[in-house]
Structure 1
Amino acid sequence: MNVLISTIFTAVLWNGAMAIIFTLRDWMPEVSQTSKRLLVTYLFVTLFMIICPNLIRLGLGISTWTEIIQFKTIFSHSEINMVVAFMVSSIYEGAYFFGKWKESFALAEKFRNQQIRTQFEVLQNQMSPHFLFNSLNTLTTLIAEDQKTAIDFTQTLSEVYRYILQNKEKELVKLSEELSFSKSYVYLLQMRYPENLNVRFSIEATHEERYIAPLTLQMLIENAIKHNVISKTDPLQIDIYVEKDKVLVVKNNLQLKNTLEKSTKTGLANIRKRYEYLGQRQIDVITSQKNYMVAVPLIEMLTELEFAKELAYEGTDH
């Protein structure tokens, strides 16, 4: 009989404590809430350990209601119950925190690997023989025809490379910097497509202090050129603007090529992965019969970026 009663007590108390721990974990799942969650868990488990044994004794007929409501009976074995509550809460919270730390560490490591791949792939795209051949071929033509324009082209080309080298390791840059770089990049492209490519920037200065992942615009512009026909009869129009004060939109008219140029398959997938790391932000892609649009979120540096890194910070330093 004593064995049965002990089994009932153990099963009810253990499963009840687990239910409390997992419920509070669902309510407060973040690593930043660990201290608060641990305190609340300890409090509730302690109360449960004090109240529940009395209710079990009442239910099994071991004690009467009159005995149960006495102060001495209610808090009998309270010291043991508090120690058990502390141990159970600490063990399970420790395991949960360690699991979250591993997740945050894996996420940070994944992003670092992605950044390394991004650096290599972006440089590979820009430094490829195809790109250099087109740039140098254009420069050679300009030197023969218009030396002043050739000098401007050379300076702009150097600015493009400088921006790539300076910002390839950064997570975010100001939109104003990205726009300045993108305009230089477009200038080079328009030397190749003087009448067939039109890129229109319509962005108010108030938005330029926000942040964006570096080379995002370059990748989206390159993506539009790579996948669409550009000719006198079918000029490519790219519009870049801010919508609803929250997202940067790159929109182009849709005139897909029958065959695509060789690609390293970065572009949009690369941008998606970087923005997932920078706060779980979604990249929206909208395709209609006439247009192709990509909407990229603008980031407030002091709020969204810090929040996105909070898990990694907690897991590394705490």
Structure 2
Amino acid sequence: MKTLHNIWPRIIGIPVSVLLLNLLWLETYQHHWGIYAATSLAAIVVLVLVSEFALRSLKAYGERIREDEALKKVSLQSQFDCLKTHINPHFLFNSLNSLSVLIAEDKTKAENFLDELSTVYRYMLQSHACDLMTLRTELTFIRAYFSLMKTRYGNAIDFSIDVDDRHLDTLLPPLTLHILVENAIRHNIILAEQPLLITINATADGQLVVCNNIQRKPLKANTLQVGLDNISSRFRLLHLPQPAISDNGQSFTVQLPLLQKSGTI
């Protein structure tokens, strides 16, 4: 099709040139009107046929482009939905384990934990219908999730959120914060004498920074990458800039670009 785009203007140029030459040489056809009429008619016919062919080709090309884009969009949506569904089973499994421990230790805490779990899980199910969520909503969810973890770990874990109100209406993929916080909890030692601190802050230029101190459990290195790959894939499928990840040995930090509702970063 690209070759056609390069050639068909040249093809159209042939009959156009013939018509122009006929006009320029009109005086030479004074005694040969039949030749003039025949060449002009032939040039017009060729011009019409080539133009019609070119228009049909361009229309077909445009339709193929639209079909390809539609198929790509369906494929990307399928991949994105698949990524989102990977979150729930793991979260539910961990939560039920925590609830089982609490039931044996403190039934009142277990009941409160179950109520909070219902609220959190309801949000997680609802979030699957959205590709983007406001930071305000995500922070409300993550605070509820923090409450669950605080019930489970007590003073062995602590959280800090410092986000200016002007950032609350920005957007990011739903459950991104959950993945990062769960990764921190899953891969680090959490003890009263070695508390885990997770902070969420917003920079002046509209970046969300999630950070935790490092005191890693002896787990396989690639288990940490699964959650990070999930986040990177979701940002990529939504055509958003990739999160910036840094590990200086003391703290693990992920910087997330926030999308303005107008559609700009």
Measured against the shorter chain, the TM-score band is 0.7 to 0.9
Report if the CA contact (8 A) 1:201-1:240 is conserved: yes
Partners of 1:52 and 1:156 lie apart in 2 by 77
Aligned residue for 2:71? Answer: 105
Q: CA deviation at 1:110?
A: 3.3
The two structures have a TM-score, normalised by structure 2, of: 0.76
Aligned residue for 2:47? Answer: 81
The 3 A distance-change label for structure 1 pair 271 and 67 is same
The 3 A distance-change label for structure 1 pair 15 and 198 is closer
Aligned residue for 2:13? Answer: 50
Asked if residue 201 in structure 1 is aligned to residue 161 in structure 2, the reply is: yes
The 3 A distance-change label for structure 1 pair 86 and 257 is farther
The 3 A distance-change label for structure 1 pair 232 and 264 is closer
The 3 A distance-change label for structure 1 pair 205 and 262 is same
Partners of 1:70 and 1:213 lie apart in 2 by 66
Report if the CA contact (8 A) 1:196-1:230 is conserved: yes
Task: Give runs of aligned pairs for residues 115-154 of structure 1, distance below 5 A.
Answer: 115-119=81-85, 121-128=86-93, 130-143=94-107, 147=108, 151-154=111-114
Deviating above 4 A after TM superposition, structure 1's stretches of 4 or more consecutive aligned residues are 14-17, 51-54, 66-69, 260-266
Partners of 1:259 and 1:111 lie apart in 2 by 32
Q: CA deviation at 1:281?
A: 3.0
Q: CA deviation at 1:100?
A: 4.8
Report if the CA contact (8 A) 1:139-1:154 is conserved: no
1:53-78 deviation per Cα after TM superposition (whole angstroms, max 9, x unaligned)? 74xx9xxxxxxxx96993979x9635
Which amino acid counterpart does residue 154 of structure 2 have in structure 1?
P
Partners of 1:271 and 1:89 lie apart in 2 by 44
Which amino acid counterpart does residue 142 of structure 1 have in structure 2?
D
Which amino acid counterpart does residue 177 of structure 2 have in structure 1?
L
Partners of 1:195 and 1:284 lie apart in 2 by 30
Aligned match of 2:142 in 182, 187, 196? 182
Asked if residue 297 in structure 1 is aligned to residue 257 in structure 2, the reply is: yes
Identity of aligned residues (%): 24
The two structures have a TM-score, normalised by structure 1, of: 0.65
Unaligned runs of 5+ in 2: 27-35
Report if the CA contact (8 A) 2:99-2:114 is conserved: no
Aligned residue for 1:19? Answer: 6
Which amino acid counterpart does residue 70 of structure 1 have in structure 2?
L
Partners of 2:139 and 2:119 lie apart in 1 by 13
Which amino acid counterpart does residue 136 of structure 1 have in structure 2?
S
Aligned residue for 1:114? Answer: 80
Partners of 1:261 and 1:16 lie apart in 2 by 50
Task: Give runs of aligned pairs for residues 32-51 of structure 1, distance below 5 A.
Answer: 45=9, 49-50=12-13
Aligned match of 1:173 in 133, 147, 152? 133
Aligned residue for 1:28? Answer: none
Unaligned runs of 5+ in 1: 1-13, 22-44, 58-65, 306-318
The 3 A distance-change label for structure 1 pair 286 and 91 is same
Which amino acid counterpart does residue 198 of structure 1 have in structure 2?
D
1:74-121 deviation per Cα after TM superposition (whole angstroms, max 9, x unaligned)? x963563354144235415523541452244133233224314522x2
Aligned match of 2:229 in 254, 269, 276? 269
Partners of 1:105 and 1:223 lie apart in 2 by 33
Partners of 2:15 and 2:241 lie apart in 1 by 45
Report if the CA contact (8 A) 2:245-2:254 is conserved: yes
Partners of 1:151 and 1:134 lie apart in 2 by 12
Compare 246-255 and 170-179 and name the one that shifted more. 246-255
Report if the CA contact (8 A) 1:170-1:214 is conserved: yes
